[in-house]
Chain A
Amino acid sequence: NAGVTQTPKFRVLKTGQSMTLLCAQDMNHEYMYWYRQDPGMGLRLIHYSVGEGTTAKGEVPDGYNVSRLKKQNFLLGLESAAPSQTSVYFCASRNQDRGGSNQPQHFGDGTRLSIL
């Protein structure tokens, strides 16, 4: 059981280039999230999805787009990379809440992205 898998693990881009980060989960989770982690700032939510075909903005959505065409995949796109987007990106997924019990998020191992 792979859990949450992020690809790639590392990437270096030039300013203005575009790229897509892939998050795949094999737990049949409804909810998926993209975060960025910057020193001293914890994790900040970029975009999230509550089900296949749906996406919503998080705390820091500007400069990013997402798509959830298949339940198991959540793609994060950088349209025109900027140095301010240098960060570690984490994907997470979780099940629907059951019986009033909030389910914990399961995280991928992260993608380290550097924009030169």
Chain B
Amino acid sequence: AQKVTQAQTEISVVEKEDVTLDCVYETRDTTYYLFWYKQPPSGELVFLIRRNSFDEQNEISGRYSWNFQKSTSSFNFTITASQVVDSAVYFCALFYSSASKIIFGSGTRLSIRP
């Protein structure tokens, strides 16, 4: 089965704290892609990152970093020194090549308190 699980429904932290959003996926495909999207209160969906299944190198982009571990089927997202503007719903997604489809997790609502 192809599945994406974001077990954290809501997270609330105080500004400047670090926060990690978990994403666990299931797939039988050997070639797949993982994504993170951000949905701010305004509602639009913003692409953050894409990783393919053959590249387990972690990535850092400013305050954002991603930890991809195939051994645990996880693709976790960490925000360092969080800011109020990071408040949003974050979606993890899996694209599996066998069906050329993408499926989304249910999202994690992140609230950053001043």
Contact = CB atoms under 8 A, between A and B. Distances in A.
Interface of A: 33, 35, 40-45, 48, 50, 58-59, 88, 90, 92, 100-102, 104-110
Interface string B87-105: 0000101010100111111
Interface size band for B: 20 to 34
Contact of B47 (A33, A100, A101, A106): A106
Nearest to B92: A42
Chain B's interface: helix, strand, loop or mixed, by majority?
strand
Interface string B30-46: 00010101000011111
Contacts of A100: 52
30 contacts: A33-B102, A35-B104, A40-B9, A40-B107, A42-B6, A42-B91, A42-B104, A42-B106, A42-B107, A43-B91, A43-B93, A43-B104, A44-B104, A45-B102, A45-B103, A50-B100, A58-B101, A59-B103, A90-B45, A92-B45, A101-B52, A102-B33, A104-B35, A104-B50, A105-B102, A107-B44, A107-B46, A107-B47, A108-B44, A110-B44
